[in-house]
Amino acid sequence: MQVQILLLLPIAFLLPPGARSGQIIGGQEAEPHSRPYMAYLHIQHAMKAFKCGGLLVKPNVVLTAAHCQGESITVILGAHNISQWEPSQQVLQVQRQIPHPQYNDTHDDNDIMILQLQGEAHRNKYVDFIKLPATKRRVRPKTKCSVAGWGRTDPRSKQTTGTLQEAHMVVMEDANCSETLLDYDAATMMCVGDPDKGSISSKGDSGGPLVCGGKAQGIVSWGPEDGNPPDVYTRVSTFVPWIKETMRKLQG
């Protein structure tokens, strides 16, 4: 059984049924504004609210996980401490949510979504884009990457952190996930997180980027129910043609 990785807000909002809160375990506080591509998503769905991560790729385009859909989404860019207002923050509403047309919410396959913002982000030292990988270019196993998010830092507590946390991750062989996770699809998913190094493994915000060599190679998607690594990330390189074609249409 797989469980989507979603995050609790600092106050007692409810998560969608079956959701698991995200967490950065064994990580550390990120240097403020060292990841200017990071987006914080506040999502409203019916009477519930939850949050996800995202990544800025164009002035009016954020990528995230398809399971982060909601009735309305507010995007905050340029944030470090999300629990308070910072002059660096830019707040934008989402005009259009475009999940991948083959997204399967049962198996979390093709778990990627494009968000078109109602305005354009102003690029500066606090807010900037992240590069996408080459089409279908795979990350080699044992590659060291990083992930960041505003989720829990202690698996025994529901307390979330206001400041952006980060952790190093290791890309694993696909077999590490396919042998234990029935819904793992190596064509669209990445296996990330060494089970022998649990102290530095992490589960970042759903929709947040896995960064390898300065490029967004993965998007946090789901993981095993026991909460132990490895976790599953959407393989961004598989979807680059769809991303570019969709963005071209959005730009008119």
Q: What is the pLDDT of residue 198?
A: 59
Q: What is the pLDDT of residue 161?
A: 64
CA distance 97 to 115: 5
- 88 is a domain residue: yes
- 92 is a domain residue: yes
- 23 is a domain residue: no
- 136 is a domain residue: no
CA distance 20 to 41: 16
Give me the residues of the chain with pLDDT under 70, please: 1-26, 151-161, 198-204
Q: What is the pLDDT of residue 204?
A: 53
Domain count, the chain: 2
Pair (111, 41) in one structural domain: yes
Q: What is the pLDDT of residue 252?
A: 73
Pair (105, 150) in one structural domain: no
CA distance 62 to 76: 11
Structural domain that includes position 122? 36-129+239-250
**Closest by Cα among 108, 111, 129 to 120:** 129
Query: 166 forms bridges with which residues in the sheet?
Result: 28, 148
The catalytic residues are: 67, 111, 206
Pair (122, 157) in one structural domain: no
- 56 is a domain residue: yes
- 7 is a domain residue: no
CA distances to 63, 77, 196, 242, 246 from 99, rounded to whole Å, are: 10, 21, 34, 11, 11
- 29 is a domain residue: no
- 16 is a domain residue: no
Q: What is the pLDDT of residue 38?
A: 98
Pair (113, 198) in one structural domain: no
Pair (153, 108) in one structural domain: no
CATH of the domain at 162: 2.40.10.10
Pair (111, 152) in one structural domain: no
Q: What is the pLDDT of residue 155?
A: 56
